[in-house]
Structure 1
Amino acid sequence: MSILFMTIAVSLFIAIIFFIIFIRSVKSGQYDDLYSPSVRMLFDDELVKDETKEKTN
């Protein structure tokens, strides 16, 4: 039974370490998207068609 408690404690310790590393990398800008804003201007905006006009026969 003691091995179970030790395994849970070690796994929680490792999970906390990974969580701290993740938070630190997010705060340092590791996951900021620098590529998409420069490419976004190249895409044309799609025109919205006005569907409220009634068709006349």
Structure 2
Amino acid sequence: MSIIYFLITISIFIAIVFLITFILAVRSGQFDDDYTPSVRMLFDDELKKTKTKTK
């Protein structure tokens, strides 16, 4: 029975470590999207053309 308590303690500790690592990665800007703005610039003219055609 003591092994169950040990495994639960270890799994909670690992979960906390992963949570802290995830929070630090989000705060440091690791998940910021750098690719989409450069691609959006390429398709911006097409969006304006379709808007003017519908008017």
TM-score, normalised to structure 1, is 0.76
Measured in 2, the distance between the counterparts of 1:5 and 1:40 equals 52
Larger radius of gyration, structure 1 or 2?
A: 1
For structure 1, the residue ranges without an aligned partner over 5 or more in a row are 51-57
Instruction: Give the equivalent residue in structure 1 for 2:3.
Output: 3
Deviation readout 1:11-33 (Å, 9 max, x if unpaired) = 00000001000000100000001
- Count of paired positions: 50
Once the two structures are superposed, the pairs formed by residues 1-57 of structure 1 within 5 Å of their partners are: 1-43=1-43, 44-45=46-47, 47=50, 49=54
Taking every aligned residue pair, what percent have the same amino acid on both sides? 54
RMSD: 1.7
For structure 2, the residue ranges without an aligned partner over 5 or more in a row are none
Measured in 2, the distance between the counterparts of 1:34 and 1:28 equals 14
